[in-house]
Structure 1
Amino acid sequence: MVGAGLVLALCALQLCPAALGGSHRLSKFGGFAWENCGDKRDPVVLQSLSVAPDPISIPGNLRVSAAVSSSKAMASPLKAVLVVEKALGDLWIQLPCIDQLGSCTYNDVCTILDNLIPPGTTCPEPLLTYGIPCHCPFKAGSYSLPASDFILPDMELPSWMTNGNYRVRATVSNGGEELACVKLAFSLQSQ
């Protein structure tokens, strides 16, 4: 099973390309926020990202809109590094990588995408409708995802990945070159 952190990283990559960029501050505690954290020369930039409801409910419906621009094609191997922290009182604790959940490194995101959506398979909605690719390589350009609804299934998350406030830093690189860096802050609520 692909972890929630990887889903966020893939979103930051280009599965939700419209979701990358901006200068929103992550100081908001207990609510959704995002910002680009990479070098100003990073080729992939999140332009906008909105997520509702806040907090995110699992299971439940998630409405996402996003925009991303990429000045460079992204090809295999794409490496994604996630640092996931959870608030415990006033402290932020980095979560370890356990069963591909938490602060993990994914050395070949393109292969993971191919395992989720086999090559030759049509990209799922709403990606197909809005011309958002779901396989490597990703062409340079601008991608936009208007407000779209996704169903978050009842996932068996470990107790340390349920209710609470989280911060995620997702960095994507190829051959040691940073392509994108995005920070997210959000709250999860399990039902």
Structure 2
Amino acid sequence: MERLNMLTVSLALVLVLTQINCSSSSKLHRVKKGQILGFDWKNCGQPDDPAVLKSLKVSPDPISIPGDLTASASGSTSVELASPLSLNVTLEKEVAGFWVKIPCLEELGSCHYQDACDLLDQVIPPGQDCPEPLHTYGLPCHCPFKAGSYSLPQSDFFLPNVDLPYWLTNGDYRVQGVLGSQGKELACLKISLALHSD
């Protein structure tokens, strides 16, 4: 359950704070023989996708679990994001210079989620206040997410020690998430990151 909670909190941050699409990218990412040398994000959807990521900064690099994480993000959506919101995740790990797709195991990895809104409700029950710092900045943590702009100023989080499966520990990862509703793509985001777990 802790692994699902970590996934869902990450999903909540993506949904609530970034509201994704396809136009800009950070320029911190470089690849040398398959190795990630910096956190990177890139919108990967269609030009008319309604949800747009404008900025996303995360440190430290690599991300440590357990450990402190500093993040800021901004984005917007031109349509309300309401249940059901399908989410297709593709997760790859760098192994000996090659990118290997990780299958969906125990609801982690390259998985299809019928409704991301249900995942959020599992972590933060409806009616419960949103966790900090979302509450402080008036950011929602449940569907529906109204059309508009969202912004999270630089904020500190603590990533707790969780029992990660062996295939999701130290290493370089690429993850792509495609958000959709009623057969229509709403957003697509690719993230490259490095994880360090004790």
Instruction: Give the TM-score band, short-chain normalised.
Output: over 0.9
Amino acid at match of 1:182: L
1:80-159 map, 5 Å: 80-159=87-166
1:173-188 map, 5 Å: 173-188=180-195
Contact 1:86 1:94 in 2 (8 A): yes
Query: Paired residue for 1:17?
Result: 18
Q: Is it true that 1:166 corresponds to 2:167 in the alignment?
A: no
Q: Could you tell me how far apart the structure 2 residues matched to 1:8 and 1:22 are?
A: 21
Contact 1:75 1:137 in 2 (8 A): yes
Change in 2 beyond 3 A, CA 1:19/1:78 = closer
Q: Could you tell me how far apart the structure 2 residues matched to 1:161 and 1:87 are?
A: 11
Amino acid at match of 1:122: D
- 1:76 paired residue among 45, 62, 83: 83
Q: Could you tell me how far apart the structure 2 residues matched to 1:34 and 1:126 are?
A: 22
SS at match of 2:122: helix
- 1:54 paired residue among 26, 49, 61: 61
Contact 2:43 2:53 in 1 (8 A): yes
Q: Could you tell me how far apart the structure 2 residues matched to 1:19 and 1:56 are?
A: 21
Cα distance per residue 1:97-118 (max 9 Å; x no partner): 1111111111111111112111
Q: Could you tell me how far apart the structure 2 residues matched to 1:100 and 1:83 are?
A: 12
Contact 2:20 2:76 in 1 (8 A): no
What residue ranges of structure 2 are gaps of 5+ in the alignment?
none
What residue ranges of structure 1 are gaps of 5+ in the alignment?
none
Count of residues in Structure 1 that have an aligned counterpart in Structure 2: 190
Q: Could you tell me how far apart the structure 1 residues matched to 2:156 and 2:120 are?
A: 20
What is the Cα-based RMSD across aligned positions, in Å?
Answer: 1.8
Q: Could you tell me how far apart the structure 2 residues matched to 1:109 and 1:18 are?
A: 13
- 2:49 paired residue among 34, 42, 48: 42
Structure 1, 2-11 or 88-97: larger mean CA deviation: 2-11
Q: Could you tell me how far apart the structure 1 residues matched to 2:5 and 2:127 are?
A: 24
Q: Could you tell me how far apart the structure 1 residues matched to 2:106 and 2:98 are?
A: 24
Deviation of residue 163 (structure 1)?
0.4
Q: Could you tell me how far apart the structure 1 residues matched to 2:19 and 2:48 are?
A: 18
- TM (norm. structure 1) is 0.93
Contact 2:8 2:123 in 1 (8 A): no
- TM (norm. structure 2) is 0.89
Change in 2 beyond 3 A, CA 1:103/1:6 = farther
Contact 1:18 1:145 in 2 (8 A): no
Cα distance per residue 1:108-165 (max 9 Å; x no partner): 1111111211111111111111121111110000000011111111010011100000
